[in-house]
Structure 1
Amino acid sequence: MCGRIELTLTQNMRLALQGLFHLDAAWPEQPEVRPTDPAPFLTWEANWTLHTGRWGLIPPGMDLTGAKKYATFNARLEGLERSKTFKSAFREGRRCLIPLSAFFEWPEKSKVRIARPDDRPLLAAGLWSTTPTPDGELLSCTIVTRPPTDDLKDVHDRMPALLLSPDLDAWLSAPPAEAKAAALGSWRPGLLTVTSAA
């Protein structure tokens, strides 16, 4: 599963994100984000908005204390509509995009960094939620995962559901079956490189 992500943007990545989302945002610099850390995510509601939320979704009816008992930083694409944790966000349109510069895995206990070789950012399908707390609304998010493309099968049996720009709208606003098809079929083999991160 995807348990470490990176958002360390080059100038080319910043320009790509600005051109795609028309956001002059102060993108955070996060060399390694772990579950429960703050993570950035993008939503569309008449315009694009960049948020920061806990990486580990807190579903409706659960508080932060309860959420700490569960690993909710990844959501399996295949089970979104059946999952008590994720189905509400998926069905009710709380889908989002999670920008990354890379993600990490540990095949054979050796840490690797997985990224695009063309200096462009990655966009992962995600879900988000908001939870009332005594200190105000707490935002949270999760990365949707899928089976790996053929070129990553030796790295891990799951990968983030990465999206190419033509499929962003389908993930964010299409009916569930079409959204899942976009998240499963958008990414193609050969677009990522795997390098040592030791």
Structure 2
Amino acid sequence: MCGRFALLTHAEALIERFGVEEVIKRPEPRYNIAPTQNVTVVVQREKLQLTEMRWGLIPSWAKDVSIGNRMINARAETVAEKPSFRSAFKKRRCLILADGFYEWQKVGKIKIPTHIRLKSREPFAFAGLYEYWKTKSGKMLESCAIITTTPNELMSPIHHRMPVIVSPENEVAWLDPENQDVSELLSILQPYTPDQMEAFEVSDFVNSPKNQGPLCTKPVNTTLFDFSETLSAPSGST
């Protein structure tokens, strides 16, 4: 699953990187984004918008918002068929912006917080779905979920799932609401190239979603999980 991430890149850089045409909500840098909080998304409407949505998808038929607390992720393997997600998968897709995410690697009885990012340090986009839900006051609440897939070689020692990072060349196709080609959309939901990623242990300061600041992403040592280095290491190396 993906249950925590960071977005530190400033709004101007995000607008340029993702070709945003209309800004509805400008994001502030955040080190420790958690479920039920608002997250920064790009969505294709009349214009390509930068806005925010509640993290935790609330289906239109839900009786209350609490269902969203446990619908922060959607599995790529079932997203096209599962009743909670299939309509959004066809018509309401978004990019959820980040520049790093966290997972907790189990080592015995210990869980080690790990930060994962691109080696380039550039922002990227998770594959997201969104829905509308009408509150009792008649206001429309927008909520979203991050799609997950099987882990790549970098992630597999850390966790059995990873969020789908949409390759830049697939972002337009993913956002296009007119694109309802299920096969094409599912082909986008692949594990990201591991040699473009890196991972490192961070402080357990990040364990609490109340905690913010640079300590969340600061390595506790200089050792990185780097898949490309593993590939290039001599056969007798340790």
In the superposition, the TM-score normalised over structure 2's length comes to 0.75
Does residue 129 of structure 1 match 2:138?
no
Encode CA deviations 1:61-80: one digit per residue, 9 max, x unaligned. 11434515x61000001101
Q: Is the 8 A contact 1:53 1:140 kept in 2?
A: yes
1:188 to 193, 197, 214: 193
Q: 1:138 corresponds to which residue?
A: 141
Encode CA deviations 1:141-160: one digit per residue, 9 max, x unaligned. 00000111122111111111
| 1:116 to 1:14, Cα distance in 2 relative to 1, 3 A | farther
Does residue 87 of structure 1 match 2:89?
no
In the superposition, the TM-score normalised over structure 1's length comes to 0.89
2:104 to 98, 103, 106: 106
Q: 1:161 corresponds to which residue?
A: 164
| Secondary structure, aligned partner of 1:180 | helix
| 1:16 to 1:139, Cα distance in 2 relative to 1, 3 A | closer
Aligned residues: 193
Encode CA deviations 1:105-163: one digit per residue, 9 max, x unaligned. 00020001101121200211000011111341111000000111122111111111101
Q: 1:151 corresponds to which residue?
A: 154
Q: How far has the Cα of 1:19 moved from its partner?
A: 3.7
Name the CA distance, whole Å, in 1 between partners of 2:96 and 2:41: 5
Q: How far has the Cα of 1:90 moved from its partner?
A: 0.7
Aligned residues: percent identity? 27
Q: Is the 8 A contact 2:58 2:65 kept in 1?
A: no
Q: Which has the larger radius of gyration?
A: 2
Does residue 22 of structure 1 match 2:35?
no
| Secondary structure, aligned partner of 2:159 | coil
| 1:51 to 1:24, Cα distance in 2 relative to 1, 3 A | closer
Name the CA distance, whole Å, in 1 between partners of 2:159 and 2:128: 19
2:182 to 152, 176, 185: 176
Q: Which has the higher contact order (CA 8 A, sep 6+)?
A: 1
| 1:65 to 1:44, Cα distance in 2 relative to 1, 3 A | closer
| 1:2 to 1:84, Cα distance in 2 relative to 1, 3 A | same
Q: Is the 8 A contact 1:172 1:179 kept in 2?
A: no
Encode CA deviations 1:142-190: one digit per residue, 9 max, x unaligned. 00001111221111111111011111122223312101101226x2121
Unaligned runs of 5+ in 2: 204-238
Name the CA distance, whole Å, in 2 between partners of 1:156 and 1:102: 15
Q: How far has the Cα of 1:50 moved from its partner?
A: 1.6
